[in-house]
Amino acid sequence: MIDALFSPFEIGGLALRNRIVMSPMTRSFSPGGVPTREVVEYYRRRAEGECGLIITEGVGVDHPAAIGATTVDDVDIPLISTDEQMAAWREVVDGVHAAGGKIAPQLWHQGVLRKDYTGYGRQAVSSRPSGLWGPTDRKRSPALTQEIAERFAQPTRPMTEEDIADVIAAFARSARNSAAVGFDAIALHGAHGYLVDTFLWEETNQRTDRWGGDHKGRTTFAVELVKAVRREIPAEMPVLFRWSQYKQQDFDARLATTAAELEDVLGPISDAGVDIFDVSIRRFDMPAELDDSDRTLAAWTKAVTGKPTIAVGSVSLSTTLYESLGGLESNVNSNVELAAEMIERGEFDLLAVGRMMLANPDYARRIRTRQPLAKFDATILKTLY
């Protein structure tokens, strides 16, 4: 029933031993943006555990407003800008490769979810397409309390043409650095209400210039960003793009409500040079509710772009991420067999595992050999296991 998960996958210069992916998860164990030896061992263990592709925690791009405080004090999120940071990432990459795995950095800019004047660029205001944070009266991440939402929601100045060019150039530099370090692919964070996503979302992008407008117009930033990244990396190096309907500011947000709208959103981004779409949803098997179909969002993404997709969300778990962080007990379930069936049917191509990969560094091996899985406990988030 799970054989499809352990078939090889290849695209461009990336050849994977199986279809299991480690989902990107913020870990905050890199003082000064430099991954430590513990970070090296953390990723190496997942590769030794037979994970096919590791997508790292969010790595801040080379821009002063990329990383800062969100709902907590400043945290030790990694960067890939200085020689010291790149040398540390090279150790991570070498460790993963020595264990037979492949690895991609998730390049990240927090955008509107960063508090002004915090993090690595304390002189910098946060980047907002139209100066807007989003609505404050919607169901959102439990970490975004009403007080935080109202404080963050105060309008600021929109990004200028120079601001936009600087951020795109920062992504390109960080992609070039990632290729130089030896990563196998580049993953771009375009989801969850962070900067790239806020250009795609009508609530936060109300620009009337070439960076805004209708569904297609709002893709311009993502399109130019992908093109800039592609110019800085080898042609055979795949680019992954994570996208989501929901935002941390609004769990019910939708970039597209029909298949035609979805094609308007993802088509230009795909054509710009994306090889794989990482489709983030709270449960991987949820219907996308597009055009009265029971297709999942990963299946719809594959259908409208023709590109391979990664499905993610509550794999091997009874709870969503926000349910478990809210204190609901996370029990192990067997939905991984359903995921394998969906891969076999061609609905998506790769399966990303988050919380259960934290609790089980050898998750892939345990699934392959039918071994029991350890339960996820939210306390593990405070450690680098």
What six digits make up the tokens of 73?
A: 């004090």
CB 131 within 8 A of CB 236: no
CB atoms within 10 A of CB 327: 9
| Per-residue CA distances from 295 to 78, 192, 292, 335 (Å) | 36, 21, 9, 16
Q: Which of 42, 43, 194, 363 is catalytic?
A: 194
State both tokens at 136: 């404050």
| One-letter amino acid for residue 190 of the chain | G
Instruction: Calculate the alpha carbon distances from 345 to 251, 279, 289, 305, 339 in Å.
Output: 29, 17, 20, 17, 10
Residue matched to tokens 């394998």:
340
230 contact partners, CB below 8 Å, separation of at least 6? 239, 272, 273
Structure-block tokens of residue 275: 């090889």
The one-letter amino acid at 358? L
Rounded (10°) angle between helices 83-98 and 37-48:
30
Catalytic, 322? Answer no
Chain CA centroid to CA 21, Å: 12
* Coil/strand/helix, residue 190: coil
Q: Which residues are catalytic?
A: 194
